[in-house]
Amino acid sequence: MIEVDGSQGEGGGQVLRTSLSLAALAGFPLRIVNIRAGRKKPGLRKQHLTAVSATAEIVSAEVAGASLGSQELTFTPQKPQGGEYVFDIGTAGSTCLVFQTILWPLLFAQQESRVELIGGTHNPMAPSFDFLARTFLPLLSRMGAQVSLQLKKHGFYPKGGGRLIAEISPLRTLQPIALPAIAGDHAPSLQARVISSRLPEHVATRELRLATEALDLPAASAEVVKVKKSLSPANVFFLHAERGGICETITSFGERGLPAERVVEQALAEMKRYLSYPVRVGEYLADQLIIPLALAGGGSFSTMPLSLHCQTNIALVQKLMSVSIATNKAAHGGVDVSFSSAG
């Protein structure tokens, strides 16, 4: 049984999710201790419990410690089984994080899978549906995976109620990809978008006006998506940057008492930082690429300075897999990350 300390590095739910994914895929028994020990509400929350129960169902695992607030879990899996599944978080917890947990074992199962996920689809501190659909899954497709993700209903905090449908075709191997730094001047193609639900129209209009003026965007590069049937009001602001064959997605969330100007400023500052490096892979995408490139046993990318979240993921993946991940400071001030089989 492999033991993982859930408080290591960034110490959040990603340690749990990565450990579950790889244990389910490789079939090794797992014990996780100190789960989210440093968080304000430590231990397993509803969203994490759904990831545990969903993964356990897919691999017919024996599980102990799967209860609200638990800081210790044992997980003994069997082989992944594709098929049709429905997983309801029961809160506005992130369906996208649950999807990322179960994706890897289902991708290497022997049968096709169709999974319905119910909960939040656009959550702060989690990848949004738009990030997965526009930024992450196209790269996974280039590696040979056939995965589709459909948004059937938006789900926002605090009530959730969103629905995602994932369809996953099995495969034997992922192909490595290389995403080096961009040579020369590659001006990005930028787009601003707002998802607005049950809020005054002027909020989204003002946000797009601020963004188009700041980025000198044409009207055709600004879009409002109006969501009428959602359980909670929402204001989600996106900036998309097409550069070097990748669409980077930056997300900023409106909240009660936060001016529209501040919502846009947050996204603009993050986009400015991303564009200051000659790279295709942004800070959050770098984190998402660790598992697939490790599974491919090769590949590389150049990115911005690594977040603690990503550094934690790298250390954990190297502990749980036979892969070597090298991180070297790049001349442009970011980091070059490369993968190779450890034998």
Report yes or no: 74 and 64 within 8 Å, Cβ to Cβ.
yes
- In angstroms, the Cα distances linking 64 to 15, 70, 268, 294, 311 are 18, 10, 45, 28, 28
Tokens coding 240: 């998309």
**Closest alpha carbon to 126 in 17, 261, 24:** 17
Tokens of 1: 């049984």
Q: Are 233 and 198 in contact (CB under 8 A)?
A: yes
**Token pair of 26 as six digits:** 């490789």
Amino acid of residue 256: R
Provide the annotated active-site residues: 309
Amino acid, single-letter form, for residue 66: A
- Of 58, 35, 56, 49, the residue nearest 88 (C-alpha): 49
Q: Which residues contact 176 (CB under 8 A, 6 or more apart)?
A: 143, 293, 296, 297, 298, 299, 339
Rg (CA), the chain: 20
d(CA 253, CA 282): 19
Amino acid identity, residue 194? V
